[in-house]
Structure 1
């Protein structure tokens, strides 16, 4: 009896201090009070709820954000959803980490106190006052502070966004863009860099950012030599054109602004990063398909050399870039000038046929659409474009696509293409297209 009691006592003492792993080596055990009741891991930012239970901040915030209003451990309804930092437990955890550093335990850093809604409201109010006073330096410092807080944690960013930062920054950008531009470049640049972090914007914020003065400022940044300015400007423009509200108005402004199209094309020709290149392609795509005079926009882009540029990009582009580049070409090839430029480029047919069934359903749809437009508008009596398509294995690829299945519109165009290509099959022996089918996956 005494022996059994001693064993239980020894087992409890060992559980409090150390435990042995499978190899028989001594292993450190985290004290129970230092573990989060949700994750059972060592707490790094302990906070206490109104129920008196302490949790690690990230875990309990996820619980509350999921719509729960009770304490996970006691199931009691919480009187307040604002967790209070538990400095006593945090200090004990830090001391324990220091005492056990020989076991490889690193001391947890003292967490920053997250920003509150009241603090955010005060900063936004000060930004609004600085904006009305045209205090560029003061506004720039306040915006920099907001940006710094947002970068500290995802929680801070959500709090800042939920308090309407998008509207305040957009209104400030529009206000300072109307004043002396040379004097306000630094504050405008700071506001724009902060805005990009806070996307997506609501309709009111886009209204401020889409004003004539703000748009001119964005185009100036897009054309300037500073890489970060150009990146932020193109992301802001993409945010504007992706909304259906006043989309036509924004696209009209873009198409008519001097240097805007050239600046967008420059981001494709001399890319800063894949994000900015994709944003530029998205804007150009909307300009082509949504603007009233699409032929004028398309011909302008053709004259600027977009067709060979995109064809070269498509050779080894990743999926997202490939889809966007093909979408732009599909819009441009509605113009006779664009189709003529494509027919005179040796890359056109090999690249388009290769992308069918190789990238995605969207890329296949665009590739078939482009092939259909080029072949349908063939003017040469010898069927130059059609024969070139046959030589790179288009007939076999299209037959396979028909068997695998596709959307109705694409299916109709595939059938048309096969009818157009069939009369020329007897004039040449097609190249063995086996390379096109390597690694082929069904689209469903």
Structure 2
């Protein structure tokens, strides 16, 4: 599929999604030119003229021409037939959109349309750009969160796959439709009653919501729902499906990155869940994220209390001190958490020593860990010095 030259952004070389024009008369895709300007560039990328005015004017004419080009059905079947799973020669994006929008469309028609959308979004960057441009992302969200019942599992999973594949950074504000009580209730129902695959996909969606600046208010609303947090915490304890547990850990970590959500997360058992996850987890990257969240929650009195009451916390954190040493941040968070805990409790210091913390710290100090990890490790060793047996020779 060939995109006309005038429909490509000069910076990204991709199809325009939101064309805007500078004072120099050059048109760029909004995300691309905004990043260029945010990086401190004060020139027009094409002409290199100095910009005295950085106002971005929407190019409605070009946007209209692109929409018309897409709706007339650019050749999405131009790939070699043996490797192209889309064989319907009458396929057009407008037909797909109509199948998904129409209340009269059969289940089979909707499933077929979703399968084709998934193929286009996964196998073709251009196809994905076309789908985003024509508003498929908000349409898929409406289709996904339109009922209080779990309904058709296959249709839900296909719609979720498409949503996660698209998830355009320029349209994530569409997720704010979940502020509507009906749609929010649907999210909770899907999270509670869906199978593990659906729950895992929803965890990825919650992570996207929590990490996007345009949906932070929505994230705070979601984090106030006990039922949502309870499902995420239960997934952290899941031993039979590591991908589901990892997705839940990423979602909870993203949710807890917002200070307003931390008390609710602690109240619903996030601390115990993260410790259980760390005791089973073998991925350094995932462990680092969970350790960072645990250290954040330790900064709150309720979080510190929850960690101190967990019988496995000290043992798990000690084991993580050198285990994640190749990931410098992981070691920092493990040592940082232990430092907080040991400062306030002789019992914890004794448990840590008995769990082998001294050896772990010495190994860490000999490794290529970060300066912060070394500083905190030395501080922890100094704190634990009183636990070392006295040398009878007085040396």
* CA spacing shift, 1:410–1:166, aligned 2, 3 Å: farther
| 1:397 counterpart = 2:364 | no
* CA spacing shift, 1:150–1:293, aligned 2, 3 Å: closer
| 1:256 counterpart = 2:216 | no
* CA spacing shift, 1:210–1:408, aligned 2, 3 Å: farther
Are 2:236 and 2:277, in contact at CA under 8 Å, matched by a contact in 1? no
* CA spacing shift, 1:428–1:275, aligned 2, 3 Å: farther
Residue 127 of structure 2 corresponds to 160
- Rounded to whole Å, the distance in 1 between the matches of 2:365 and 2:108 is 58
Are 1:307 and 1:338, in contact at CA under 8 Å, matched by a contact in 2? yes
Are 2:196 and 2:244, in contact at CA under 8 Å, matched by a contact in 1? no
2:294 to 320, 329, 332: 329
TM-score in terms of structure 2 length: 0.66
| 1:311 counterpart = 2:311 | no
- Rounded to whole Å, the distance in 2 between the matches of 1:152 and 1:366 is 41
Residue 233 of structure 2 corresponds to 265
| 1:290 counterpart = 2:258 | yes
- Rounded to whole Å, the distance in 2 between the matches of 1:427 and 1:309 is 39
Shift of 1:191: 5.8
Are 1:196 and 1:235, in contact at CA under 8 Å, matched by a contact in 2? no
Q: Which gives a bigger RCO, structure 1 or 2 (Cα 8 Å, sep 6+)? A: 2
Are 2:307 and 2:313, in contact at CA under 8 Å, matched by a contact in 1? yes
1:412 to 362, 369, 375: 375
Are 2:97 and 2:136, in contact at CA under 8 Å, matched by a contact in 1? no
| 1:299 counterpart = 2:266 | yes
- Rounded to whole Å, the distance in 2 between the matches of 1:281 and 1:309 is 9
Are 2:335 and 2:377, in contact at CA under 8 Å, matched by a contact in 1? yes
Are 2:322 and 2:361, in contact at CA under 8 Å, matched by a contact in 1? no
| 1:216 counterpart = 2:185 | yes
Q: Structure 1: which 5+ residue stretches go unaligned?
A: 1-65, 68-80, 88-109, 430-444
Listed one character per residue, the Cα deviations across residues 326-359 of structure 1 (whole Å, up to 9, x for unaligned) are 2332222223343334334443223222222223
- Rounded to whole Å, the distance in 1 between the matches of 2:176 and 2:254 is 18
Listed one character per residue, the Cα deviations across residues 275-301 of structure 1 (whole Å, up to 9, x for unaligned) are 33222112211222313253x224313
| 1:226 counterpart = 2:189 | no
Shift of 1:217: 2.1
* CA spacing shift, 1:403–1:390, aligned 2, 3 Å: same
| 1:126 counterpart = 2:126 | no
| 1:235 counterpart = 2:204 | yes
- How many residues get paired? 316
TM-score in terms of structure 1 length: 0.59
Q: Structure 2: which 5+ residue stretches go unaligned?
A: 1-12, 15-74
- Rounded to whole Å, the distance in 2 between the matches of 1:335 and 1:277 is 24
Listed one character per residue, the Cα deviations across residues 183-210 of structure 1 (whole Å, up to 9, x for unaligned) are 9767972663342452443231442465
Residue 59 of structure 2 corresponds to none
Q: CA RMSD in A?
A: 4.0
Shift of 1:236: 1.8
Structure index of larger Rg: 1
Listed one character per residue, the Cα deviations across residues 210-255 of structure 1 (whole Å, up to 9, x for unaligned) are 53134432222111143333233222222222323333x1321111
Residue 98 of structure 1 corresponds to none
- Rounded to whole Å, the distance in 2 between the matches of 1:117 and 1:288 is 48
* CA spacing shift, 1:194–1:403, aligned 2, 3 Å: closer
User: The residue matched to 2:214 in structure 1 has which SS?
Assistant: coil
Residue 385 of structure 1 corresponds to 348
| 1:245 counterpart = 2:208 | no
Listed one character per residue, the Cα deviations across residues 125-163 of structure 1 (whole Å, up to 9, x for unaligned) are 425xx53x5x164587245334246449953x4343121
Are 2:141 and 2:163, in contact at CA under 8 Å, matched by a contact in 1? no
Residue 423 of structure 1 corresponds to 386
- Rounded to whole Å, the distance in 1 between the matches of 2:391 and 2:189 is 54
Residue 57 of structure 2 corresponds to none
Q: Any residues of structure 2 matched to 1:351-366 within 5 Å, and which?
A: 351-359=316-324, 360-366=327-333
- Rounded to whole Å, the distance in 1 between the matches of 2:265 and 2:391 is 35
Are 2:172 and 2:215, in contact at CA under 8 Å, matched by a contact in 1? no
- Rounded to whole Å, the distance in 1 between the matches of 2:140 and 2:122 is 24
| 1:349 counterpart = 2:310 | no
